[in-house]
């Protein structure tokens, strides 16, 4: 048995950021991770062939590069190996009619592409970009602050002071709007609307879901204004740097250490018991980077003592699942729409807003979508170090999918367990990509497919293949993430806290929940 100030359950990047900050404040820290690898969904490995490095989940590190944690600890992180690969050509969409649209961080390039579709859309884009710094101040302040009455009041006051009552209402309306509503109000071209709406699907926001407009808005404006950032050599560059910081400050990380129980005495978390039987005491905090459903009856065998909290954790809603297909490639795809697409970090394949809505409905009904939304990542177009010289990797994310298969919307795959159908469904995905980039299959050197259930096996937080650890719909976001009265990473058990994507401010690589919790516990 060992004594620590704080014990962390899980070594995701939020936990590591929190642990590193507290360790630098003098806390004695221990992190226990069930897997042999740290990082949670932010991992990089040679899943296909030697020398081909694939990001398991997260690929885009822009949120981390722009985070408050990185601003404070940039020098320390760099000294422990953090290195970014900047992206100029950020994201694009290819369409069945042979057209494409993409956003680069060169305004004139993006505006020229827009003008080819619509002069009005190009003018709207310029106006939005010009207004973005003022709008971003308030949105990033909201997303980067704790969900407390004081923080919300401060954000609201600043918003009203800077924009006035009408301007504040406009910002509130953006936060409440669906992607379709915002896009149809601002752009007349279906291709442009669809390209931007695809970002909503990254966060469980089909085009008609209220509260989803802010994500396409922020992603498109931020990419236009600042570009995008990948990790040099892989997304795990942030994980290695965080672990290095933590260890240098005296913290310890133990892998292959499955926490079976969070020990509680007198309503207070006192430590953890590992599956091996070892126990370790925590004097100040136990911080669990787990999906909410893992608490009542599992890590807390007797519950939290608050029936309402336990019920909310059990009912925590997860987003539809995803599939990941990692490809080792002899070359990048030859996109029919244009060779320029080979330069983009992301190419979305989603024909229309209606197609995205249908895919989302099919997945929620338990059906294998006939035309899933595909996010084709081309990281080696930006960072050649991830593959042998002259070779490439593709990162293919398939959205949205059911965790349990009730049928096939295309009527071609008999319903069965994912283990039995994943290869057949992966072929459907490759057929779709091939239709946009003929000859794709002839360039594939190796393939690794992770079904929604494979993703959960690799990381139990990805329940049913939900890579964002919980729906971000309005009823489960802001003050309600993960549940009403528990949006400040607190639980009914004294000294027990939650962190990670299931908590405010949600999914992404920004380490917001970990860093804000660390400041709450240990000071700035």
Domain holding 277: CATH number? 3.50.50.60
User: Do 312 and 405 fall within a single domain?
Assistant: no
User: Do 12 and 128 fall within a single domain?
Assistant: no
What is the tally of structural domains in the chain?
A: 3
User: Do 124 and 212 fall within a single domain?
Assistant: yes
Residue 99 domain flag = no
Question: How would you class 10 by CB atoms within 10 Å of its CB: exposed for 0-12, middle for 13-18, buried for 19 or more?
Answer: buried
pLDDT in tens, 59-83: 999 999 999 999 999 999 999 999 9
User: Do 206 and 274 fall within a single domain?
Assistant: no
User: Do 350 and 366 fall within a single domain?
Assistant: yes
Domain boundary among 226, 254, 275: 226
Return the pLDDT at 74: 98
Return the pLDDT at 396: 98
Rg for the chain (alpha carbons), in Å?
22
Residue 95 domain flag = no
Q: 475, 507, 503, 502: which is closest to 489 by C-alpha?
A: 503
**Measured CA angle at 160 (ends 213, 186), to 5 deg:** 30
Specify the DSSP element, H or E, that contains 71. helix 68-79
User: Do 131 and 206 fall within a single domain?
Assistant: yes
Return the pLDDT at 389: 97
Q: pLDDT tens for the chain, 524 residues: list them.
A: 799 999 999 999 999 999 999 999 999 999 999 999 999 999 999 999 999 999 999 999 999 999 999 999 999 999 999 999 999 999 999 999 999 999 999 999 999 999 999 999 999 999 999 999 999 999 999 999 999 888 888 998 999 999 999 999 999 999 999 999 999 999 999 999 999 999 999 999 999 999 999 999 999 999 999 999 999 999 999 999 999 999 999 999 999 999 999 999 999 999 999 999 999 999 999 999 999 999 999 999 999 999 999 999 999 999 999 999 999 999 999 999 999 999 999 999 999 999 999 999 999 999 999 999 999 999 999 999 999 999 999 999 999 999 999 999 999 999 999 999 999 999 999 999 999 999 999 999 999 999 999 999 999 999 999 999 999 999 999 999 999 999 999 999 999 999 999 999 999 999 999 999 999 999 99
Q: How would you classify the pairing of strands 392-401 and 373-377?
A: antiparallel
User: Do 14 and 69 fall within a single domain?
Assistant: yes
Q: How would you classify the pairing of strands 44-45 and 54-55?
A: antiparallel
User: Do 424 and 515 fall within a single domain?
Assistant: no
Q: How would you classify the pairing of strands 268-274 and 2-9?
A: unpaired
Residue 101 domain flag = no
Return the pLDDT at 150: 87
Categorise residue 285: left if φ over 0, alpha if ψ from -120 to 50, beta otherwise: beta
CA dist 425 and 410 (Å) reads 11
User: For the whole model, what pTM was predicted?
Assistant: 0.97
Return the pLDDT at 374: 98
Q: Which domain holds residue 501?
A: 2-44+53-84+234-316+468-522
């Amino acid at each position: 048995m060992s004594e620590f100030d704080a014990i962390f359950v899980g070594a995701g990047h939020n936990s590591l950021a929190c642990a590193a900050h507290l360790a630098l404040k003098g806390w004695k820290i221990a992190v226990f991770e069930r897997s042999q690898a740290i990082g949670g969904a932010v991992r990089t490995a040679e899943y296909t062939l030697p020398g081909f490095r694939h990001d398991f989940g997260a690929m885009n590190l822009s949120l981390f590069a722009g985070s408050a944690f990185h601003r404070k600890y940039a020098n320390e992180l760099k000294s422990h190996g953090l290195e970014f690969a900047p992206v100029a050509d950020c994201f694009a969409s290819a369409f069945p009619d042979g057209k494409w649209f993409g956003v680069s961080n060169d305004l004139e390039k993006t505006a020229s592409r827009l003008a080819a579709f619509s002069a009005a859309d190009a003018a709207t884009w310029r106006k939005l970009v010009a207004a973005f710094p003022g709008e971003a101040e308030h949105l990033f302040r909201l997303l980067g602050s704790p969900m407390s009455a004081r923080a919300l009041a401060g954000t609201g006051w600043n918003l009203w002071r800077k924009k006035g009552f009408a301007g504040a209402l406009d910002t509130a309306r953006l936060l409440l709007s669906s992607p379709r509503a915002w896009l149809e109000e601002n752009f007349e071209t279906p291709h442009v609307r669809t390209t931007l709406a695809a970002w909503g699907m990254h966060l469980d926001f089909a085009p008609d879901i209220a509260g989803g407009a802010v994500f396409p808005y922020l992603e498109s404006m931020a990419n236009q204004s600042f570009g995008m950032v990948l990790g040099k050599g892989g997304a795990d560059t942030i994980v290695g740097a965080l672990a290095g910081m933590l260890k240098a400050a005296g913290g310890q990380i133990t892998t292959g250490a499955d926490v079976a129980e969070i020990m509680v005495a007198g309503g207070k978390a006192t430590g953890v018991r590992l599956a091996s039987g070892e126990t370790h005491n925590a004097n100040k905090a136990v911080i669990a980077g787990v999906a909410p459903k893992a608490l009542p009856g599992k890590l807390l065998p007797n519950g939290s003592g608050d029936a309402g909290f336990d019920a909310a954790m059990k009912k925590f809603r997860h987003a539809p699942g995803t599939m990941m297909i990692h490809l080792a490639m002899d070359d990048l795809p030859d996109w029919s729409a244009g060779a320029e697409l080979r330069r983009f970090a992301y190419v979305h394949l989603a024909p229309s807003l209606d197609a995205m809505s249908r895919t989302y409905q099919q997945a929620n009904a338990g059906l294998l979508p006939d035309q899933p939304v595909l996010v084709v990542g081309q990281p080696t177009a930006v960072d050649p170090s991830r593959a042998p010289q002259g070779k490439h990797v593709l990162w293919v994310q398939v959205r949205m999918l059911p965790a349990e298969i009730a049928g096939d919307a295309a009527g071609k795959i008999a319903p069965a367990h994912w283990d039995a159908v994943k290869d057949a469904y992966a072929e459907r995905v490759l057929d779709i990509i091939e239709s946009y980039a003929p000859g794709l299959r002839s360039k594939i050197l190796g393939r690794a497919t992770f079904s929604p259930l494979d993703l959960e096996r690799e990381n139990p937080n990805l329940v049913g293949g939900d890579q964002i650890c919980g729906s971000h719909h309005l009823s489960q976001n802001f003050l309600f993430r993960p549940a009403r009265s528990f949006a400040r990473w607190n639980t009914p058990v004294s000294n027990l806290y939650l962190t990670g994507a299931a908590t405010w401010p949600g999914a992404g690589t920004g380490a917001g929940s970990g860093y804000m919790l660390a400041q709450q516990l240990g000071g700035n």
